[in-house]
Structure 1
Amino acid sequence: MASRILRIHPKDNVLVALQDLSKGEAIEFEGITYVLEDDIPAKHKFFMQDMQQADEIYMYGVLVGKAQYAIPRGGLMNTDNTKHAADPYTFRPYNYHWEAPDVSRFEGRTFNGYLRNDGRVGTANYWLFIPTVFCENRNLDVIKEALYNELGYSVTGKYRSFTHELLAAYEEGQDIANLSPDALSVASHTKNRVFKNVDGIKFLNHQGGCGGIRQDAAVLGKLLAAYADHPNVAGVTVLSLGCQNLQLTDLMDDIKARNPQFDKPMFVFEQQQSKSEEQLIKEAIQKTFAGLVEINKLSRQPVPLSKLTLGVKCGGSDGFSGISANPAVGYTSDLLVALGGKVLLAEFPELCGAEQNLIDRTIEPDAAHKFMELMGAYSQAAENVGSGFHMNPSPGNIRDGLITDAIKSTGAAKKGGNSPVVDVLDYTEEATKAGLSLVCTPGNDVEATTGKTASGATLILFTTGLGTPTGNPICPVIKVATNNALAARMSDIIDINTGAIIDGEKTIAEMGEDILEYCIKAASGEVIPKAVQLNQDDFIPWKRGVSL
């Protein structure tokens, strides 16, 4: 029989409900009986002792909050009686020891990737359209519609067919409002892909490049350059207006600064130098088509797992995130680090409360100080506008048991496993060292995945307890559910279910190995993650303002 409660760390003074518990129930744990003072929904916590005002509350073995008033043993933790608190952090000499997991199951294993001329390896083969300014978004939309429909990359064929059937029913005089969608027999209008070795044509529509401040354009230039240089990208088409803050010369300089050996096919068009919009679009389509013919000649080849760069992310988190999916992904992270690969842990607002552990794990003192400086500046910027990391949990997070930011953050940090931190990267900086790196991004799902991809992630493991359709244009995003109910309810977006950990059917280590097996298949193109199938191509540049 599956356990009904869990104590995550021996130091904790709260227990987690793994199932719904009722007020008045007597719950026994380690020889002590707790009579519940409230209903305790699954994923929420109740207190193991009588709490007084200002008493410290511990989860994951660290301070996560303080009691706001007296709370009886067996009482429900909620946003009224518990407020965020976290211990201060500092640099200190610390001899961190990490025992790597057993990787014998994966030694000598390979994945089939796209080997680029500079030695990096892509898990996909994309052509990328980049606008230097939002003024070109409409032209990108026109080109996208033309290319997607004709070359077989559209996922909207069934919806166009569905709309066509609705129109026919309307013209026949049927009552459309009360017509069941399932009553319509819709044929699939999916077109076979023309270029079998081109995994997609992607478009980085954005709202930047002009207006705002010049620093915004400078950061955007570095971000777009990172995407152009990404190992999952084989060729690039750039559209520019001409008068914007982010000039073409600036973007080209950023690309060369990032990779002096950049040699991918790139076609550049400036609208204010063209004869007409029609001429611009036709020429862009024609040149890109020729480029697609060339990159379609590339093929996958076996490469060691050390060539993988794995980004780890959580979004739509719940009270099980830090118990099932995040620790399982953390075990996957440790496996990949032990195999010589790279892992990227970001979302700095969601590392609040986990800072000391990460600092103690950081190999180089300069990197540890860089992390402290980035965290401190980010936190201060939030406080300067009347906010703070304590305001990070969303209403959905709170409803599902993540009462304080420290609870959310210490559970979120589990995605990074336990390996040493080899580097700390600011936004858009590239990961160059094997091992675990920390990347400064917001916690916001799309801003974080956007930034993590810029630092070189070639796959992203995205854990979720509530469900989210987030993806990325050029980095395949793999959705990992924390619980069985979500996996069943949103099976169209979930790739992996870690609910077996909650049920006691699998260990974290077993699930972590399963996740790495899936990653190998996804990196090889043998399975296509749901976010990729659905063209969930979310891209939001961070302007370095306050975003939690």
Structure 2
Amino acid sequence: MKSKLIKVNTEDNVAIALVDLWQGDRISFEGGEVIILSDTQAKHKITMVDLAPGDKIYMYGVLVGKATEEIKRGDKLTTENVKHEAESTFAKSETTSWKAPDVSKYRDRTFQGYHRPDGQVGTANVWLFFPLVFCENRNVELLKDIFEKEFSFHKSPKQRQLLRNLISGKDEDTAVDFEEEEPGIFDNIEVKFITHQGGCGGIRQDSVILSKLLAGYVNNPNVAGATVLSLGCQNLQIDIFKNALEKINPDIKKPVLIYEQQQMGTIDEMLDTIIKDSFEGIKKANEIKREPAPLSKLKLGLECGGSDGFSGISANPALGYASDILAALGGSPILSEFPELCGVEQELVNRCVDDETANKFMELMKSYENAAEASGSGFDMNPSPGNIKDGLITDAMKSAGAAKKGGTSPIQAVLDYGEYVTKPGLNLLCTPGNDVESTTGMVGSGANVVVFTTGLGTPTGNPITPVIKLSSNSILAGRMPDIIDVDAGGVIKGEKTIPEMGEELFEYIIDVASGKIKSKADQLNQDDFIPWKRGVSL
């Protein structure tokens, strides 16, 4: 008979309900009997011991909270009887060893990717339009309307006629019958557009951080070239952006077209120039074809959102196993969302390859936590109403499960927001826990594919990088099949082990990276982009 409870770690003093339990139920567990004292929904936690006020609560082998009142064995943990508590971390306490998974069957495997001059390999081939400042958002939106409608065979205004004439090779001023004439199709390039609310009006540091993020998007191997719009008078000057790009890649060979409106006359004149120049770049980028590349060229973003009480025992550990496979092959998994690493710092510090890496992680975590507290909040307020409703009642409890996405491999590098991934192996990247801000940051640091675990359902994607959705439970996968790519619910049902689920996911990642499968987020054109704004507005 299927077990109704599960304990993640032998040292834990709580268990997770795998099914709905009712007051008075008698559950056989660990050689004894547990009498359920209150109705408990699946995914919520039940104490396996009597707890007095102040007693510590352990899950995943780490401290995740403490009791605020007496809780009897068999009773449910709630926000009323438990509060957040986590262990303090001051330095490496030990150096952990790592037993890498057997990756012999993947050693000679490849994916079909787009090779760039700097040695990076993309899983997509994108020409990207974006502004340096929010003042140019309207012009980017105009260009989006023109290009998307033309490439989608929709009727259009003046600039679309210009683009159609360029596509058909006719004189720029030739009138076109949109109903009869069909444009040539670019079948090997995507044209994407992003806008944002930054670049001016805030502190100078915000513009510098934004410049690093945008430079990272240009340098991302999924981007073949870019069209950049500037107003001219904003904080994020063209030189600042160029310097950021040069710092990431001093010898970048991609075409990067930059236009400054205040130097170009009318909007129509500027748009005409941008369309003609960009069309030539897009046409050339369309000639780049997929070719075999080693799996070590994958940089895998590890993300979770809309988490539930099953995320930390199915989807996240499965992704962690896939992460370990990639790390063993010389690829670069990226674990972010620093507020959701609160409580597991000691384990992560011990996994850092040296003291310098460990110290950078602790400094970034402390600085972030101090900033949150200074704003009247704190990491302990991280769980969302949806998290709490589905059993994640403290930040440390949420973090302990979220960190499982990073597997068990050594941490080779710790990066601040806007820094680019250059080292193989697991990288920690400082980002918020916010789904889109975190995904946006990982892609800006080089992620060419992202896996996003979810227990409640989150329709997040990215303009340039495919985002794969992994559900923690089969109910979600059945209810929202339009956003879920892979279902890890078999782990909860006892049908699959974590290694089996991890390998199934890894095969799916290879297929998406090769263009054999289009992720659901890409099918929905879910192009979310939100930069992290750290400072204040002035």
State the TM-score, normalizing by the size of structure 2: 0.93
**Equivalents in 2 of 1:326, 1:86: separation in Å?**
20
- State the Cα distance separating 1:92 from its structure 2 match: 2.8
Letter of the structure 2 residue corresponding to residue 476 of structure 1: P
- Tell me if the contact between 2:223 and 2:464 (Cα under 8 Å) persists in the aligned partners: yes
Aligned pairs (5 A) from 1:60-71:
60-71=60-71
Aligned pairs (5 A) from 1:25-64:
25-64=25-64
Aligned pairs (5 A) from 1:412-423:
412-423=402-413
2:112 is the alignment partner of 1:109: no
2:365 is the alignment partner of 1:368: no
**Equivalents in 2 of 1:369, 1:81: separation in Å?**
35
Letter of the structure 2 residue corresponding to residue 544 of structure 1: R
Aligned pairs (5 A) from 1:270-309:
270-309=260-299
State the partner residue of 2:14.
14
- State the Cα distance separating 1:545 from its structure 2 match: 4.7
**1:218 pairs with 179, 187, 208, which one?**
208
- State the Cα distance separating 1:105 from its structure 2 match: 2.4
Aligned pairs (5 A) from 1:490-509:
490-509=480-499
Deviates more, 1:349-358 or 1:246-255: 246-255
Letter of the structure 1 residue corresponding to residue 208 of structure 2: A
- Tell me if the contact between 1:63 and 1:85 (Cα under 8 Å) persists in the aligned partners: yes
Aligned pairs (5 A) from 1:172-191:
none
- Tell me if the contact between 2:202 and 2:535 (Cα under 8 Å) persists in the aligned partners: no
2:195 is the alignment partner of 1:205: yes
Aligned pairs (5 A) from 1:235-314:
235-314=225-304
- State the Cα distance separating 1:275 from its structure 2 match: 2.2
**Equivalents in 2 of 1:433, 1:256: separation in Å?**
18
Letter of the structure 1 residue corresponding to residue 107 of structure 2: E
2:357 is the alignment partner of 1:351: no
Alignment partner of 1:105: what SS? helix
- State the Cα distance separating 1:544 from its structure 2 match: 2.1
- State the Cα distance separating 1:199 from its structure 2 match: 4.0
Question: CA 1:296–1:193 in structure 2 vs 1: closer, same or farther (change >3 Å)?
Answer: farther
**Equivalents in 1 of 2:44, 2:395: separation in Å?**
15
Q: After superposition, what is the alpha-carbon deviation per residue over 1:411-434, rounded to whole angstroms, capped at 9, x for unaligned? A: 000000000001100111111111
**1:441 pairs with 428, 431, 434, which one?**
431
**Equivalents in 2 of 1:374, 1:303: separation in Å?**
34
- Tell me if the contact between 1:197 and 1:297 (Cα under 8 Å) persists in the aligned partners: no
- Tell me if the contact between 1:327 and 1:415 (Cα under 8 Å) persists in the aligned partners: yes
- Tell me if the contact between 1:195 and 1:292 (Cα under 8 Å) persists in the aligned partners: no
State the partner residue of 1:149.
149
- Tell me if the contact between 1:195 and 1:296 (Cα under 8 Å) persists in the aligned partners: no
State the partner residue of 2:173.
none
Letter of the structure 2 residue corresponding to residue 7 of structure 1: K
2:371 is the alignment partner of 1:377: no
**Equivalents in 2 of 1:521, 1:108: separation in Å?**
15
Q: After superposition, what is the alpha-carbon deviation per residue over 1:237-284, rounded to whole angstroms, capped at 9, x for unaligned? A: 011111111111211121112111111112221111222111212221
Question: CA 1:3–1:196 in structure 2 vs 1: closer, same or farther (change >3 Å)?
Answer: farther
**Equivalents in 1 of 2:439, 2:25: separation in Å?**
43
Alignment partner of 2:517: what SS? coil
Structure 1: gaps of 5 or more residues: 155-188
Letter of the structure 1 residue corresponding to residue 423 of structure 2: K
- State the Cα distance separating 1:230 from its structure 2 match: 1.1
- State the Cα distance separating 1:8 from its structure 2 match: 0.6
**Equivalents in 2 of 1:392, 1:199: separation in Å?**
39
- Tell me if the contact between 1:109 and 1:304 (Cα under 8 Å) persists in the aligned partners: yes
- Tell me if the contact between 2:113 and 2:293 (Cα under 8 Å) persists in the aligned partners: yes
State the partner residue of 1:181.
none
State the partner residue of 2:318.
328
State the partner residue of 1:75.
75
- State the Cα distance separating 1:436 from its structure 2 match: 0.4
Structure 2: gaps of 5 or more residues: 155-178
Letter of the structure 1 residue corresponding to residue 72 of structure 2: P
- Tell me if the contact between 2:436 and 2:528 (Cα under 8 Å) persists in the aligned partners: yes
- Tell me if the contact between 1:12 and 1:59 (Cα under 8 Å) persists in the aligned partners: yes
Matched positions, count: 511
**Equivalents in 1 of 2:123, 2:185: separation in Å?**
17
- State the Cα distance separating 1:30 from its structure 2 match: 1.3
Letter of the structure 2 residue corresponding to residue 100 of structure 1: A
Q: After superposition, what is the alpha-carbon deviation per residue over 1:421-463, rounded to whole angstroms, capped at 9, x for unaligned? A: 0110011111111100100000000110011111111100100
**Equivalents in 2 of 1:43, 1:93: separation in Å?**
33
Letter of the structure 2 residue corresponding to residue 139 of structure 1: N
Alignment partner of 2:293: what SS? strand
**Equivalents in 2 of 1:479, 1:519: separation in Å?**
11
Alignment partner of 2:104: what SS? coil
- Tell me if the contact between 2:189 and 2:286 (Cα under 8 Å) persists in the aligned partners: no
**Equivalents in 2 of 1:221, 1:503: separation in Å?**
46
- Tell me if the contact between 2:63 and 2:396 (Cα under 8 Å) persists in the aligned partners: yes
Question: CA 1:492–1:37 in structure 2 vs 1: closer, same or farther (change >3 Å)?
Answer: same
State the partner residue of 1:473.
463
- Tell me if the contact between 2:189 and 2:285 (Cα under 8 Å) persists in the aligned partners: no
**Equivalents in 2 of 1:193, 1:353: separation in Å?**
56
- State the Cα distance separating 1:197 from its structure 2 match: 4.5
**Equivalents in 1 of 2:394, 2:469: separation in Å?**
24
Q: After superposition, what is the alpha-carbon deviation per residue over 1:386-412, rounded to whole angstroms, capped at 9, x for unaligned? A: 211000000000000001000100100
- State the Cα distance separating 1:289 from its structure 2 match: 1.2
Question: CA 1:478–1:194 in structure 2 vs 1: closer, same or farther (change >3 Å)?
Answer: farther
Letter of the structure 2 residue corresponding to residue 253 of structure 1: N
**Equivalents in 1 of 2:435, 2:493: separation in Å?**
28
**Equivalents in 1 of 2:189, 2:113: separation in Å?**
12
**Equivalents in 2 of 1:5, 1:382: separation in Å?**
36
- State the Cα distance separating 1:93 from its structure 2 match: 5.0
Question: CA 1:192–1:444 in structure 2 vs 1: closer, same or farther (change >3 Å)?
Answer: farther
- State the Cα distance separating 1:145 from its structure 2 match: 1.1
- State the Cα distance separating 1:536 from its structure 2 match: 0.8
Alignment partner of 1:267: what SS? strand
Instruction: State the identity %.
Output: 57
- Tell me if the contact between 1:127 and 1:198 (Cα under 8 Å) persists in the aligned partners: no
Q: After superposition, what is the alpha-carbon deviation per residue over 1:106-139, rounded to whole angstroms, capped at 9, x for unaligned? A: 1200000011001111111000112010011111
Letter of the structure 1 residue corresponding to residue 212 of structure 2: K
- Tell me if the contact between 1:479 and 1:494 (Cα under 8 Å) persists in the aligned partners: yes
